Amino acid sequence: MALPVVAIVGRANVGKSTLFNRIVGERISIVEDVPGVTRDRLYAQADWNGRNFLLIDTGGIELADADEVSNLIRVQAELAIDEAEVIVFLVDGRSGLTSADHDVARLLRRSGKPVVLGVNKIDHPNHLASVYDFYELGFQEPIGISSEHGHGTGDLLDAVVEHLPATEEETYDEDVIRIALIGRPNVGKSSLVNALLGSERVMVSPEAGTTRDAVDSPLEFDGQRFVLIDTAGIRRRGKVYERIEKYSVIRALRAIERADVVFVVLDGETGIIEQDKKIAGYAVEAGRAIGILVNKWDAVEKDDKTSQRVTDEIREQFPFMRWAPVQFVSARTGQRINRILPLAIEISNNHALRIPTSTLNTVIEEATTSVTPPSDRGNRLRIYYATQVATKPPMFAMFVNRAELFHFSYQRYIENQLRKSFELSGTPIRIVARNRSN
């Protein structure tokens, strides 16, 4: 199910990033009291009263500013407006109504999107009178808030949720495996979809950024039904302002949210770049089953050690997903294309794996016997028992005497032991420590 999008927009330095952090519950966006600090859009999933949505933080809109950086920030904000179902228009109640606010208001009215007007920096009841000045902008009742202290943000979110579109249920059966192909532009995602489908179902062009939307294509293999989601290439943020790709990033992220299995597509000719790691990180954070496809393998000059050398490089460059299987393919020649869907079935099954509690605890006991848990000032970590509390991805709760002693390094050791003992290739796993008294 694609999440609806809510964009926070307004002129520079009205507190958009502070509100973003307040709503998502963590300091994701950089906050400084200097105009223009937010140089690109930031995305995070948020929820209010049971409604989930994707929240976008934007740079300030300065329509009269001819500065090149300001223009790029403005264009990115305009793209966020294009992508959003609901817009939060944030203004500064402390500095009052400005001509720039009027400029932004005209831009938002042209969009035709629902607009919720938030008057920020109303930190004291004595400031409430300034809220009424903003009726002049011509939107519904302005809502006075304080992003810094949280005052009024609940009323703001109530108004946002009222405008969200009705929830649309997925039409796919539970046994259908949804696969998203993600990667930067021109790595061959659409060509891979066409190779799997055996037809030119998705538009393919050598020009980067041809695919502008996420396209669903059903198929069946060996009795298993799939839906392939071909996503627009994710560019580096600094290039997102290009109009031809105005929907690419947000819809690729939406595709990840809808997918069961995500294949990160790399370009075998050009190698790994920093953007590949960022794209893969989106899928890991979402907890999806993941495989890596190195495309255009036919164009690579190689010997009998090349594939192992590239695999080692991938493991080194993607240390956060060493568990993701790697497959070398060519959409152009069809090389190893027949291995992709069986791999999707395998990692999807691992993603949904449920381990009996007794078997799990046997492995944990053997692991703690082999490597003694850490201690601090005479207090040693004890893992009393473990249980699996979720699947997709598998999540394990470890009940311990002191959770603060369950250091990251020992968690990683436990994770490695679980991976050695069970079929967990292609899926992230989550481990949480809980004090037994809780």
Q: Annotated binding residue at 230?
A: yes
CA 289 vs CA 194, 218, 393: distances in Å:
22, 19, 7
Nearest-angstrom CA–CA distance, 189 and 204: 9
Q: Annotated binding residue at 184?
A: yes
CA-wise closest residue to 8 among 74, 126, 88, 66: 88
Q: Annotated binding residue at 231?
A: yes
Q: Annotated binding residue at 189?
A: yes
Q: Annotated binding residue at 60?
A: yes
Q: Annotated binding residue at 121?
A: yes
Q: Annotated binding residue at 330?
A: no
Nearest-angstrom CA–CA distance, 411 and 137: 54
Q: Annotated binding residue at 67?
A: no
Q: Annotated binding residue at 298?
A: yes
Q: Annotated binding residue at 81?
A: no
Q: Annotated binding residue at 305?
A: no
Four-point Cα dihedral 401, 404, 407, 412, nearest 10: 60
- 3 Cβ neighbours under 8 A, 6+ residues apart: 45, 52, 53, 54, 254, 257
Burial group, residue 60, by CB count within 10 angstroms (0-12, 13-18, 19+): buried
Angle at 5 between CA 395 and CA 35, to 5 degrees: 105
CA-wise closest residue to 321 among 187, 425, 188: 425
Q: What is the DSSP letter of 71?
A: H
Nearest-angstrom CA–CA distance, 31 and 41: 13
Q: Annotated binding residue at 111?
A: no
Q: Annotated binding residue at 61?
A: yes
CA 366 to chain centre: 36
Q: Annotated binding residue at 30?
A: no
Q: Annotated binding residue at 295?
A: yes
Q: Annotated binding residue at 296?
A: yes
Q: Annotated binding residue at 145?
A: no
Question: Rounded to the nearest 10 degrees, what angle do helices 16-24 and 153-163 cross at?
Answer: 80
Q: Annotated binding residue at 234?
A: yes
Q: Annotated binding residue at 291?
A: no
Cross-strand bridge partners of residue 398: 386, 433
Q: Annotated binding residue at 39?
A: no
Burial group, residue 314, by CB count within 10 angstroms (0-12, 13-18, 19+): buried
Q: Are strands 289-295 and 326-328 parallel, antiparallel or unpaired?
A: parallel
Q: Annotated binding residue at 11?
A: yes
Q: Annotated binding residue at 185?
A: yes
Q: Annotated binding residue at 144?
A: no
Q: Annotated binding residue at 314?
A: no
Q: Annotated binding residue at 271?
A: no
Binding residues for GTP: 10-17, 57-61, 120-123, 183-190, 230-234, 295-298
Binding residues: 10-17, 57-61, 120-123, 183-190, 230-234, 295-298
